[in-house]
Structure 1
């Protein structure tokens, strides 16, 4: 797809209050807005359509946005909202849960519960749709996942702030393969955070955890050439649950998917500069190391090494 898929489908504008309200309801259903004390309304709403990674950026200076109708039934909503607070502070309520939401924080909001955002100052939020099944990864069950706080110091939150650039299409060219890869990475990061649950993040991994992490790394190394290798396969071969696998990588400020991608790129780089690469093309190297799409490989390679694979190959010859 030659053009930026996300940018092409993007709808963004500065809105009058009524238009901004209508734009919100088009996506989130019937909501009430409190803007009584706002002398001059400001609002923006950007979202992508027809994407593998539905997401949007919402901003305003209103004091409150809340759901005023019955929430979706669990059967009717197959997703949850991963919300990152780009700017501003607020108190969030979702069902019986509440959370102080500061700049740089992110959390999970369940559309099957009535939600209420009470803002202390102008805000910008990034909202990403993720599969509802992610709620079940917390050790204490789905209820503990709702409004689970990923603080501003968290690796996931830092990654989400980078994602905001993709949403507005300012810095990245993003096709369907990148969208799916990014979606998988986000799911891995959130899964690891929830699976860690009540664990103390200040404590380093135990000896058993270090051994388990080494087993997972070994499985990944053996399977780098397998394009179908995924987190479930790695967990099974390493003799652990998928939840445990995500938790291990989360403790190392990494997701399973991003680690796997990084190792494939590193091995591809090594092959491109080796003497054996003289008999290979970039396409052959990419497919050898488990990439299914040459364009995705080239863009990921350039982001990591700041050089194109063809340039690396040419310099190695």
Structure 2
């Protein structure tokens, strides 16, 4: 069953208390005036969640109501903002477009210096086929912008967004697919070969796009200038792919719009305001493009999220 929660509080302390009560975390400190929201569901043995918060710190320890907490992994996909994770005296910094993992059954801390949004995948360790990578591998931030892990992130994100429409059988089947994609991503990440220069520059271009989506001037000339290359070189970085640079920007802006339309923290912001913020100046054109990508109009998408 899909669960959706959003804080509604007049103070940071009350907002933190609400989040603590809903999530069961040990320590929560929300340190700005942005409302926080979370949506998620269990897909068989896999739990998928998407959380959106302002500046905050969270401390999590194993549950004390069980003699032995089941060994579990929690994968963090940083979609917006940056964050720091701490476990066993190690600190991991992740930026938008990166992912890593921690042991869920061991104490850890999560801190975001500003607004952030994460997609998380939590599952028992035994769900993944052995041998599994060690902590050093899990705790190394990696990009999820390409390859099998990009498909994994897209699948998990879509599942969270549409979980309310799925039957139990469908949810469990999708959970199984997420596990298979995760194993595929882990195998693909075993290679010790460094990425070639083209892949590095492509990743840099995608990172620049992600960090500047709200900039009306974002386009090929601006990206090429930031990377210190020509527009022609930038286009060649994406040759052979399904989407051009312009289409990637377009789709990512639509993704951000859908995320905010279904996020209770943005309930007071109108559809037009959200569209304009992400670079869509024509409301009718935006509505048509949104429906073409997601199968529903922006209004239908928001109404469905409210119902669930």
TM-score (norm 1): 0.50
Q: Which runs of 5+ in 2 are unaligned?
A: 197-294, 296-308
- Quote how far apart the aligned CAs of 1:12 are: 2.7
Once residues 79 and 47 of structure 2 are traced to their aligned partners in structure 1, the CA distance between those partners, rounded to angstroms, is 18
Residue 182 of structure 2 corresponds to which residue in structure 1? 190
CA RMSD of aligned residues (A): 3.5
Measured against aligned partners, the alpha-carbon deviations of 1:153-201 in whole angstroms (never above 9, x if no partner) come to 243144324422321338x842223322222222122223334565235
> SS state of the match for residue 125, structure 1?
strand
1:98 to 74, 91, 105: 91
Measured against aligned partners, the alpha-carbon deviations of 1:191-218 in whole angstroms (never above 9, x if no partner) come to 23334565235589xxxxxxxxxxxxxx
Q: Which runs of 5+ in 1 are unaligned?
A: 1-5, 205-305, 307-317
1:121 to 96, 114, 131: 114
Matched, 1:178 2:189: no
Residue 88 to residue 181, structure 1, CA distance change in 2 (3 Å) = same
Measured against aligned partners, the alpha-carbon deviations of 1:70-104 in whole angstroms (never above 9, x if no partner) come to 67689312432222212111122222333221112
Once residues 43 and 181 of structure 2 are traced to their aligned partners in structure 1, the CA distance between those partners, rounded to angstroms, is 24
Residue 275 of structure 1 corresponds to which residue in structure 2? none
Matched, 1:76 2:69: yes
Measured against aligned partners, the alpha-carbon deviations of 1:9-60 in whole angstroms (never above 9, x if no partner) come to 423334334355433454343123251xx2x232112233686542222111
Residue 162 to residue 195, structure 1, CA distance change in 2 (3 Å) = closer
1:1-317 equivalent positions in 2, closer than 5 A:
6=1, 9-16=2-9, 17=12, 18-19=14-15, 21-33=17-29, 35=31, 38=32, 40-48=33-41, 53-67=46-60, 75-133=68-126, 137=130, 141-154=133-146, 155-169=148-162, 173-195=165-187, 198-200=190-192
TM-score (norm 2): 0.51
Residue 41 to residue 98, structure 1, CA distance change in 2 (3 Å) = same
Equivalent pair of 1:47/1:56 in contact (CA under 8 Å): yes
Aligned length: 192
Residue 19 to residue 11, structure 1, CA distance change in 2 (3 Å) = same
Residue 169 to residue 100, structure 1, CA distance change in 2 (3 Å) = same
Radius of gyration: which is bigger? Answer: 1
Once residues 69 and 55 of structure 2 are traced to their aligned partners in structure 1, the CA distance between those partners, rounded to angstroms, is 29
